[in-house]
Amino acid sequence: MTPDRNWSTYLLKCSDGSLYCGVTKNMENRLIKHNEGTASKYTRSRLPVKLAAVKGHLTKREAYQLEYQIKKTPTHQKLSTLNDWKPEN
């Protein structure tokens, strides 16, 4: 059985300049929810948010592994961590 590769890990740039990392299967809908203030407590008080970067075509496991790694990374390295990440085989 082929793994479901419909997951994405994303970074949002908040209005205060901070970055928010999350995981979704539907990036367009998730971004709308963030800007409506219904997706997370963190972004609700930092609207509007803009998509800074996204890494798609991941399995659910890969997406959450990448999110975990990004959340441990210093802010100035988060974008490169997302862009350079390769799944473990």
Kindly list the structural domains of the chain, giving each domain's residue range(s) and its CATH number in brackets, ordered by start: 7-84 (3.40.1440.10)
**pLDDT of 89 over the 80 cut:** no
Which tokens hold the place of 77? 């390295």
Q: What is the pLDDT of residues 32-88, one digit of tens each?
A: 999 999 999 999 999 999 999 999 999 999 999 999 999 999 999 999 999 998 877
What's the rounded Cα separation, in Å, for the pair 82 and 67?
8
Name the percent of the chain in helix, strand, coil, to the closest 5: 40, 25, 35
Q: Are the C-beta atoms of residues 18 and 40 closer than 8 Å to each other?
A: no
